[in-house]
Every structure is written in structure tokens, then in C-alpha cells.
Chains A and B, each alone.
Chain A
Amino acid sequence: MADEPVLPTLPKTPFNGLGSKRAWAQANAPPPPSVSTSSDPAVFSSDDDPALEAYESARRHKRRYVGTWYDQHLALSSDSVMGDDGSSTIVGSSPVVYRPQRRAKGAVRQQKRQFRKLDSGVYMGGQDSTDTEGDVPSPYTPKYFVSPAQLRVSPRSLPQVSEAESAARDKIKNCVEYGNQEVDLSGLGLNSISAETIAPIADIAPIPLVVKGVSFEQADPDIKVYLYNNHLKDFPLSLVNIEPLTFLTLRNNDLTEIPTCIGKLKNLKTLNLAQNKLKYLPAEIRRLMGDGGKLVMLHTASNPWWTAEKLSFQAVIEQSDPNPLIRTPVEFLDSNGQIYSRFRLPLSDADLAESTSSLELEVEHPSELEMPKEVSYAEGDHVRLLNPTGARSLFEYALKALTKLPEPELEEVDYWLGVDEGYPKGLRETLNLAADAHRSGGLTCSVCGRGMVVPLTRWVEFHKTAGTIRVDRESLVPFLKVGCSWKCVPARQVVPECEEKLPESDD
């Protein structure tokens, strides 16, 4: 090293006449506290910096940062664009003006892009580190260090693992390591649980018992997940990817809904949903109880289930069925989510509060509900229902294509739908509904089994105990069923024919 040729001394006036915003005189001052994430001393572009002489002696403490390096870069990228002398030819002559962005996310993205375009690749945190103070659109920009959180980067892009979740991860890791198939995550105070945490559960393989004289046999995995006594608000969707899951307890959580994709858990034998905030269950669980699955134990106690009184409907009771069945009338919607029937399901709390009048169940009369009475049409018009098993409407196709967009783009579309007045009003809700349905595994028609984007009919069936299924005695459990067209309704429902004249004598 000592033999290396020494560079000739550089002229006293350095080459920063290219439009740097800073006067060189300032550079002679002791360097401001560096915000560099690197602990290396600055040796590249400021070799000629006289202040470097005092580098070691300066009261400079090594900064410590928590987190990953790219988090730091995210915040600092704009600095280097503005400040790096070596590459500031473009920037310096026309300083980049950061318009206040509508969304912080967009802002970050833009800064990032410029960072990539202009930066020489050697990042020197240094003298100009304070330049961006006015540029970052955050009112609480600290002097030198902008944390990603303050740039309002959405938490999803920078996942932060809560304490409870990291505890859960440890437990899962242990289970995977020792082949323990009983994953006990109970009482950890989990508010949510991410897909990354859950995914390793699928890797649990039982350690087969090897006994002399007994032929080796690979044991089938038989995974049990205990998630009781937590605060989960949403069903962890990634659980449905664990195919060998046979036992799942979510007792005493804050679940309000069970997604339809639970139908994928074909091996599930026991499902405990007691002490949650569920109002109804998806029809897919019914399918798991029947031929489609192995579910034999379903605990449903202590949930605010919909009851006949709460829904205030004229019930249809079909005694002929081996399993006694009470059914609500059918709710008819269009693909915009507008409801055409008098009967409405209280899918939001506000609706539920409104429906106060309670009708008594007419057990004796399984009255056939004639749909024309349920549906209100414009006067004098004739109705032609779309062919239920045929082509869908263009609206639905387009909606379906939209839900396939990657998540960030979908968010952007959702944002614009909310901001721009030019879009139809209900479109945003429809899109959200469709996106939710897509996320939770998609909807399938309860009647014809086709996949669909938005339900066009909805009704609730109340099921009681059947022979093999032990449903708790106290209540009938409501199962929400959905249909993909106005013809996809329970069997006894009468639907107006295509050419049928509408009841003009409707009184």
C-alpha cells in the first residue's frame, strides 16, 4: 500500500462549478454529521476535502441504525440526487422540484426512480444531507434522518413483525424442527397473523416411528392448529393452503366472517368457531360437512348469529328434508350491488338496526314465495333475465379482469375511483366487494357451482343438527348462500319466465 503512487495534489478550486447549490466555502467547514449508512470514512469524492484532515479528531460518533440498509436508502435517495457533486450536472442546473405528492407511496416511488437514474452508484452521504428538508412533503421531517415510517410508506411494503407474531414464528419454527404436528399459538394476543408466519406450518412433517421389525411407513401429516384466545379480526387466509390440516380452533377471537375459501380444507375434521363475532357462515362449510369434506365437529356457540327474529323474514321451512331447513327469502341484486327485492340481508350493522319488526316463523306453511312479488320493476316494462348458465355480462367480465390486477395497482384504481367524480358512484364498492371475494378465494354459486364475481342472489339457510354433525343445540346456524344469476335460487323458488308478462295487477 505504501508503494502506491500518490496522486498529484488537486487544484485548490475544485470542479464544482457545474451548478452545485453549495458554495465551496461551506465545504471547508467541518463536515456535518454524516447520515451515511456506511461506517466507512468518506474517501472517494472528497479526497481533496481539507476537512478530511480533521476527520479522525472530529467529534464524530458512529451512527447506529436499526433496520435494513434499503430502508435507509429509501429515505436518503433524494439526498444523493441533490447533493452528489460528481453526478450533479443535470440535477444541479435544474434542481429537481418535488411536487407535493398526492400519495406518499407515489412520492417514494418517484424519488426512487430518480435515484436510480442519476446516482452514480457510489453513495456518499455527506455535506448536502440537509438539502431535502424543504422537499420531503412530510411536515415532521427530522433534521438528518427520515425514517420510512415518516415517509408514510405503507406498512405492507416494510413488514414489521409484532412481538406476538414473532413469538408465533418461533413456535412454528420449533414445530417444524421437531415434527410436532400440534401447533399451539393460543393466547399470544395475536391481532393478525401474516402469510409468512403461517406458511411454514405446511412444511411440518411427522417424524416416522422406526421400530425394529416393523416395516417403515411414512406417516401422513395430521396437523392441528390452535389459535384460541387471540384477537384475530380476520380469518388467516393462508391457513387454507395447509392441506393436511385436520383440526383448527379459533375459539375466542374477534372474527366477523369466515371466507369462502375455507372450502379448500378438505381434510378438516374439527372446526371450533365458538366465542367469535360471526353472524353467518359460508355455504362452503356445509359442503365440508357433506360429501365434499370430512368435517364432523363444528363448534359454533356464543356467536351473534343471525336469527329469524333479527332478519325479520317470512321463513320457509322444509320439513321433508331429512335435515330440517329454514330458509329466508331470496335477496336479488344486480352486479352493481343494487337490491331489487324487498327482502334484504343485513350485511352491515346499520341495516340490522333498522329492521325492527319481527315476524314469527310460520312453521305450518312452507309458503312458496313468488318472486314477482319480491321484485319491483319499472312499470310497463318486461323483464328478460340473462341466461343464467350462458354468457355473463360484460360488466362482470371486466370486473373479473380487474380483480386479477396485482394488489398495488388495484389499490391505485380504488384510490382513483374514490377521488375522481367522473366514475359511477357504486363502482368503488362493487370493486371492493369483488376484490375481497377474489382475495378470500372467490365465490362459487351455491346452485350451479360456477365461479362468479359478485353475487346476484343471496339467501340464508338455517341448519340444525344432523346425524353426524354436532352443532351446538341452542341455535340454528345460518349459512349464507349465493347465486350467480337470478335463476340460481333455492329449488322451490318460483322465478318469472323470460317472456312472462309482469304482474301489472300488482296490488
Chain B
Amino acid sequence: MSDSKYITLVSYDGFEFVVLREAALISETIRAMLRGAFKEAQTGRCEFGEIRGPVLEKVVEYFHYYHANRDQTDVPDMDIPVDICLELLMAADFLGLDSRPQMRDLS
């Protein structure tokens, strides 16, 4: 179960997003959730009690955007609607999606 190719992200208002596991792993927070003996690691289902559906949707969009463009150059910037940008900023901070040096475990 935990080795499924996809994981599910759940927003606090109940929206579920099925994401490619590999894409979602760029988030340090999600990686930590899926590692070890947490419930999330067993079920492949991560619930976020603070992220609204539309915001999580944008986050998921970013996962795929990043995944698709990870080896490319001159990537067009992703468009962020202004009305959710502050929430998105918070979510990005929470999920570790800023450009600090990223730690990767090779196991």
C-alpha cells in the first residue's frame, strides 16, 4: 500500500487530490510524512488541516508543474491568482516548497 505510485492529499474542507508520489516528494514535509511509521505512510493519505481546497489544488498543480519541468530550462513562470497568494505562501512555507537547500535521503 505504501508503495503505491500515487498518494492522496486531503484539504481541510474535504477535497482530495491524487498526486504522483514522486512529484509530491519535492516537499520536505510530505516526504517526512510518508517516511517512518506514521499513519500517512501506511495509507498514502496526507491530510492537511490548514490548507483550503483551492490552495491545495494550486499546490498540486505546482507539484506537477515542477515535476514536468524539473530538467528543463527557461520554464514559463507559473501563474498565481492574487486572491489566494497569501494562503499559498503560507502553504509553501509549511510544505517546505521554498528554495532552501533541499535534503534528500538516498535510501
User: Given A398-B80, A413-B86, A424-B93 in contact, is the A393-B99 Cβ separation under 8 Å?
Assistant: yes
User: Given A334-B101, A336-B98, A398-B80 in contact, is the A390-B62 Cβ separation under 8 Å?
Assistant: no
Residues of B with C-beta under 8 A to A382 = 103-106
Q: Is B66 part of the contact surface with A, judged by Cβ < 8 Å?
A: yes
Are B104's CB and A381's CB within 8 A? yes
Of B66, B82, B104, B106, the residue contacting A391 (CB under 8 A) is B66
User: Given A386-B102, A427-B89 in contact, is the A391-B97 Cβ separation under 8 Å?
Assistant: no
Residues of A with C-beta under 8 A to B98 = 334-336, 393-396
Are A391's CB and B78's CB within 8 A? yes
Q: Is B88 part of the contact surface with A, judged by Cβ < 8 Å?
A: yes
Interface residues on A, range: 35 or more
Are B85's CB and A402's CB within 8 A? yes
Are A398's CB and B101's CB within 8 A? no
Chain A residues in the interface with B (C-beta under 8 A): 334-336, 338, 340, 375, 377-378, 381-387, 389-402, 404-405, 413, 423-424, 427, 456, 485-486
Residues of B with C-beta under 8 A to A394 = 59, 62, 66, 78, 88, 91-92, 95, 97-98
User: Given A389-B74, A390-B72, A395-B99 in contact, is the A384-B104 Cβ separation under 8 Å?
Assistant: yes
- Shortest Cβ distance from residue A485 to the other chain B in the assembled complex, whole angstroms: 7
- Shortest Cβ distance from residue A376 to the other chain B in the assembled complex, whole angstroms: 10
- Shortest Cβ distance from residue B60 to the other chain A in the assembled complex, whole angstroms: 11
Chain B residues in the interface with A (C-beta under 8 A): 59, 62, 65-66, 69-75, 77-78, 80-82, 85-86, 88-93, 95, 97-106
Residues of B with C-beta under 8 A to A334 = 98-101
* A to B contact number (C-beta, < 8 Å): 115
Residues of A with C-beta under 8 A to B100 = 334-336, 338, 340
Are B86's CB and A384's CB within 8 A? no
User: Given A393-B92, A394-B92, A397-B80 in contact, is the A335-B101 Cβ separation under 8 Å?
Assistant: no
- The 27 listed contacts between A and B (C-beta, < 8 Å) are A334-B100, A336-B93, A336-B98, A338-B100, A340-B101, A382-B104, A384-B102, A386-B102, A387-B71, A389-B73, A389-B75, A390-B70, A391-B65, A391-B69, A391-B70, A394-B88, A396-B98, A396-B99, A399-B89, A400-B77, A400-B80, A401-B82, A401-B85, A404-B82, A423-B90, A427-B90, A485-B99
* Cα distance A414–B100 in the bound complex, in angstroms: 23
| Ranked 7 nearest A-B pairs via Cβ | A395-B98, A334-B100, A401-B80, A401-B85, A398-B89, A394-B97, A381-B103
- Shortest Cβ distance from residue A11 to the other chain B in the assembled complex, whole angstroms: 55
- Shortest Cβ distance from residue B55 to the other chain A in the assembled complex, whole angstroms: 10
Residues of A with C-beta under 8 A to B73 = 387, 389-390
Extra contacts besides A391-B70, A394-B62, A398-B89 (8): CB < 8 Å: A377-B101, A387-B70, A393-B92, A393-B97, A393-B99, A394-B66, A394-B98, A397-B78
